[in-house]
Amino acid sequence: MKKLLLLPLFILLPMLLAQAQYARFGAKVGGNLSTVQGTDGSSNTTNSLAGLNGGFILSYEFVSRLAVQAELQYEQKGFVYDAYPISPDEVLADDHRLHYLTLPVMLKLQKGGLFVEGGPYLGYLIGESTAVKRLDRSTLDNPSPTQLGNYPLNMDDFERWDYGYTIGIGIELDNGFFLSVHNSGGLTSFSKALDQKNFGYKLSIGYLLRPPSLDQMMR
């Protein structure tokens, strides 16, 4: 059922591209705040993690201000363990950071300088830099809880592929610079052992090459 949610745009995509009037290229960069959802991602024992995102844009645009926009992005995702219990005596703490290449493909509708966009994304895990520690649960009230060692994680503990949705709003200036805010959520767990899905928000600034003039389009 979840995969069926991603099919409509990919079915419509070839028909839309056949009617495209011109292409625009650009780039974007920004920050994101990510967290985790799922039965093993309790908000009581996890916090949000700040990260970076950036990448390139290819937008096929229409005279009616409808576009199909694809992006190739690098994104940092993950969350922070905050006294996450793994046994009666131990909890986890610190950053759980994952590095992805993602490919969002979105329909974009623009009116004046405002735009909305949304569609599916496909992500591929290229690295992890977790710093999760095991703490003695009985010492959590101390200024410096007792560390019992690291909680070992490596690439084999995670699913390489991630997919989900992304939706956003933004404003684009006449000169091609834009500001956008997006929400994205994974539809499959990134952990092989637990039910943990990516979720987060991104704030980005970027630039798209200005569209051709009406005279150029009519030549």
* Residue 218 covered by a domain: no
* Residue 184 covered by a domain: no
* Residue 22 covered by a domain: no
Handedness of CA 18, 20, 22, 28 (dihedral sign): negative
Secondary structure percentages of the chain, helix, strand, coil, to 5: 10, 60, 25
Number of domains in the chain: 1
* Residue 75 covered by a domain: yes
Q: What is the structure's pLDDT at 1?
A: 47
* Residue 169 covered by a domain: no
Quick check: 212 pLDDT over 70?
no
* Residue 135 covered by a domain: yes
Residue 193, C-beta contacts closer than 8 angstroms, at least 6 positions apart: 157
Residue pLDDT, tens place only, 9-31: 555 555 555 555 788 999 999 99
Q: By residue range, what is the domain housing residue 126?
A: 28-58+66-103+122-164
Which residue has better confidence, 174 or 21?
174
* Residue 80 covered by a domain: yes
